[in-house]
Amino acid sequence: MAEPGPPAAPATTGSFAALRHLLPALPAGKLALVGSLMVLVSLTEGFGLFLLVPVIGAVGGGALPDGIRRMIAATGLPMALAPLLALCVGLVLVRAVLQYVRTVEGQKLAYGLVDNLRLRCFRLILHADWRTLAAMRQSDNASLLITNIDRIDMALHTLIAAVAAGVTLGGLGLAALAISPVMALATALGGALVLFAYRGLRRRAVRLGEALSEANDTVYARVLESLGALRLIKSLSGEARAARALSADFAGLRRAQLAYTRSYARGQVVLQGLGAGVLALAAWLAIVRLGVAPPVLLPMAAVFARAVPLLGTLQENWQYWLHGLPAVSDVARLAARLEEGAEAALPAGGAAPRFEQAIELSGVTLRHAQRDSDALTGANLTIPAGAIIALTGPSGAGKSTLADIVGGLVSPDDGRVMVDGVALDAAGRRAWRSRVAYVQQEPVLFHATLRENLAWACPEADDTAMRAALSVASASFALDLPDGLDTVVGDRGARLSGGERQRIALARALITRPALLILDEATSALDTENEAAIADAVTRLRGQVTVVIIGHRGLLSGIADRLVVLERGRIVSDSGTSPPAASS
């Protein structure tokens, strides 16, 4: 089926919008704990540096200015060297422990958030309606679940690091203010100017992040597509071409990543230069102009020596957070699209229609988005319980669409679908689907044992039920395999032939004891022998299960009671020879 392209990406959200999207998933108590720990760590660090003033005073590095002397006296600190040093060591230890708790709790918070987000997105995909899913590129969803959410994980860590650096700078600022207000204000102004000068780089980080999102999606789509087309690639000797295409996509990805690395590294070079300049200016002011005494000058130097790299850390992590923001917007955009296309919940305790009389379609019309013509127009059809009906017609005539509507996978845009006289609403449709089994042209088997594959459809089925289903589905060969039901079928059933896979898929469909079985081109890819085996199986079901067969005329549709022909979305003929509906 053709897919419309992805919608144009809206502009990347800003930091606040991104946080609004992410933060509600965080437990408020934990968030407050991590925030308080950050502040405590920074305060202990600032206070530790402030302590250097009396320490240097105590070793006779010069007289303390009056203001500072009064401030220290007010704190009740001893002015002797040994207790001051002991206090410094104590503070370092307290800070180290607080920092440990903050690191672990911060990490737990980020992991919790990211895991929640991943699970939420996966659930949204699982619960979106079929029309929404069919219009999406699934590699985008894979990229969303893995790469984008990993990027958000990284971005969150950098955000935490940026906030921690900012808060620590605040603590150092307080210490600097206490030691020398003039120098503190002058250098804070310098620091703020440096950060301001970097706004261009930060904007660029967002743009480069958007380019990275696109490059990631391209690589994902290529990998998934190539792995799904290995047979085709090999049969067309396209190995080198496939490798070249992936290599080109990777080159694009690396270009996007390197562009960011360059921009970020350039920023660091300039930052170090500017930081050194601001510091030199502050030192010159302090020594030459203000004649600041050593007990003040030295602790200030310690504060600045710590503050300049922190400014670098703040800028670096802030920039990285912004670089990761497009991943948040991508996730938010896809999540919104999936939420919009969410299916109604399965009604609690609401039983599915029994289907003892008939399914009736009246005036059913469906049009896919971005298509000019209807996939199905004004279809009227009654399927009596127990009938075997074949839908035929050229490719694109609307057969699968009709079967999807009958099977409750999609809802029509117009018209009504009734089962046993009750119209299917959204919830009823979901319940009805549990009574319908599908076998499609390319059967989906999981890389697991036969038993696990059958149990996937019906977890409570025991070996007897599995043997019975295999027997009805002309698939008893499975019991003769070396490991019987414990045989592992390989990736997508690769260790079985196409016909064997299809018969196992039929057994899996039957083990659920469906009321309606839909065979969508189920034998189109099979040889006559396998088609005959499946036709035999369906013949055995006559009268017990209602069967809708989609396909070109052949052995399988030959066993139908009734032939319905579609062309360009319309039912153009209906042999209508099915037996009357069984009464309940």
Of the candidate spans 33-41, 180-188, 275-283, 390-398, the one that interacts with ligand ADP by CB under 6 A turns out to be 390-398
Minimum distance of ligand ADP from residue 410's CB (angstroms): 10
- The total of other beta-carbon atoms located within 10 Å of residue 170's CB is 14
Phi, psi of 266 (to 5 degrees): -60, -45
Burial class (CB in 10 A: 0-12, 13-18, 19+), 570: middle
Of the candidate spans 44-52, 137-145, 309-317, 393-401, the one that interacts with ligand ADP by CB under 6 A turns out to be 393-401
- Which of 235, 395, 583, 584 touches ligand ADP (CB under 6 A)? 395
Among residues 136 and 515, whose Cβ is nearest to ligand ADP?
136
- Which residues, numbered 396-415, are part of the site for ligand ADP (CB under 6 A)? 396-401
- Please name every residue paired with 573 in a beta bridge, in sequence order, or none if there are none: 565
**Residue 442 in tokens:** 């390319």
Minimum distance of ligand ADP from residue 558's CB (angstroms): 19
Burial class (CB in 10 A: 0-12, 13-18, 19+), 98: buried
Among residues 397 and 431, whose Cβ is nearest to ligand ADP?
397
Among residues 172 and 366, whose Cβ is nearest to ligand ADP?
366
Among residues 356 and 567, whose Cβ is nearest to ligand ADP?
567
CA dist list (Å): 373 to 88, 566, 568, 569: 78, 15, 9, 9
Minimum distance of ligand ADP from residue 522's CB (angstroms): 13
Minimum distance of ligand ADP from residue 415's CB (angstroms): 16
Minimum distance of ligand ADP from residue 375's CB (angstroms): 3
221 touches 6 (CB < 8 A): no
Among residues 136 and 152, whose Cβ is nearest to ligand ADP?
136
- Which x/- pattern, by CB under 6 A, does the window 432-471 give for ligand ADP? ----------------------------------------
- Which of 49, 109, 135, 165 touches ligand ADP (CB under 6 A)? 135
- Which residues, numbered 357-376, are part of the site for ligand ADP (CB under 6 A)? 368, 371, 375
Nearest-angstrom CA–CA distance, 458 and 471 = 17
Minimum distance of ligand ADP from residue 347's CB (angstroms): 27
3-class DSSP assignment, residue 41: helix
Nearest-angstrom CA–CA distance, 283 and 63 = 19
**Residue 527 in tokens:** 């040889």
Instruction: Rule CB under 6 A: say whether 2 interacts with ligand ADP.
Output: yes
3-class DSSP assignment, residue 389: strand
264 touches 319 (CB < 8 A): yes
- The total of other beta-carbon atoms located within 10 Å of residue 270's CB is 14
Residues that bind ligand ADP (CB under 6 A): 1-2, 134-135, 368, 371, 375, 393, 395-401
